[in-house]
Amino acid sequence: MVLSQDCLLCTTSSRDLLCSACAGDLPRLPAQRCPVCALPTPRGEICGRCLTHTPHFDATYAVFRYGFPLDKLIQAFKYGHQLALGNYFGRQLAAFASVEGQTNIAGIFSADLIAPLPLHPARLRERGFNQSLELARPLAARLRRPLLPTLCRRVRNTPAQAGLPWRERKNNIRGAFRCETPLANKTILLVDDVMTTGASLNECARTLKRCGAAAVILLVLARALPE
C-alpha cells in the first residue's frame, strides 16, 4: 500500500515526492539538440563547439533542463540532505533510460557498466554522500548493468566548478581524476546530476579513455543552458 504525502512543490496530496502535475511541469530541453553535448541546435545536428573542440565523451542524454523549480530541488538534495530526492531523481533517470523508442537511446543500452562522477574524499566527508552515486543506483538496477562506484577516483580537491567562470573550468579540473582499471573495448555510462560546461565530465571521460574505454556516454539529470 502506497501512502499519500504532500507534494514538495504544491503540497497537494501525492503518492510520490512530486504530484503528477508538478512532475509534468519540470523544465524540459528542446527536442532538437546536439547528440554529443545535449545543447539545443536548430535541427538536432552536432553543435559547432563539439565539431571544433571534440570532447572525450561520445554522447550526452539529459532528462531535464536545469531551471526553476528543478534547480531548487537539486540543491535541496545535494546541500539540504534530502536524500529521498536522490531516489526520486534516480528513478527518473531509470525511467528515461528504459523508455522504448526514444531517439538514439540505444547508446545507453550499449553500456557495459555504469559509473558515477566521483567526489574527492574531502568533499565526500563534508557532504556525506555522492549525489551522482545515489542517482546511479536505481538506474543500474533498472538497466541490470554493473555499478562501479570507485571505477574512477577524484585525486585533486579542486575549487567548486560552480564558482568559476566557464572558461576557467577546464583548467581547474585538469588531472583531477584517476582510473587504474583496464577498460579495453568497454562502453561506460557516466552519471551526474547537472551538466553545465561539461568540463568535469569531459575530464573524467578523458581519464576513462586513457584506460582503454571505447566510448563514454553521459547520462545527467539536468543540462544547464548558457545564459
Domain membership flag for residue 14: no
3-state helix, strand, coil split of the chain in percent (to 5) is: 35, 20, 45
Give the residue from 10, 16, 125, 134 showing the smallest Cα distance to 74: 134
Domain membership flag for residue 68: yes
Give the pLDDT confidence of 43-60 residue by residue, as tens digits: 999 999 999 999 999 999
Residue 202 neighbours by CB distance under 10 Å? 21
Domain membership flag for residue 22: no
pLDDT at 174 over 90: no
Mean pLDDT for the stretch of residues 166-177: 73
Count helices and strands in the chain by DSSP H and E runs: 9, 8
Domain membership flag for residue 7: no
Mean pLDDT value across the chain: 90
Distance CA 80, CA 74 (A): 9
Confidence of residue 98 (pLDDT cuts 50, 70, 90): confident
Three-state SS for 48-60 is: HHHHHCCCCCCEE
Domain membership flag for residue 18: no
Number of domains in the chain: 1
Domain membership flag for residue 142: yes
Domain membership flag for residue 4: no
Q: Which CATH number is 214's domain given?
A: 3.40.50
Domain membership flag for residue 5: no
Cα 27 versus chain centre, distance: 16
Give the pLDDT confidence of 61-80 residue by residue, as tens digits: 999 999 999 999 999 999 99
Task: List the domain range (segments joined by +) for residue 106.
Answer: 27-223
Give the pLDDT confidence of 156-166 residue by residue, as tens digits: 887 665 555 65
Mean pLDDT for the stretch of residues 172-199: 93
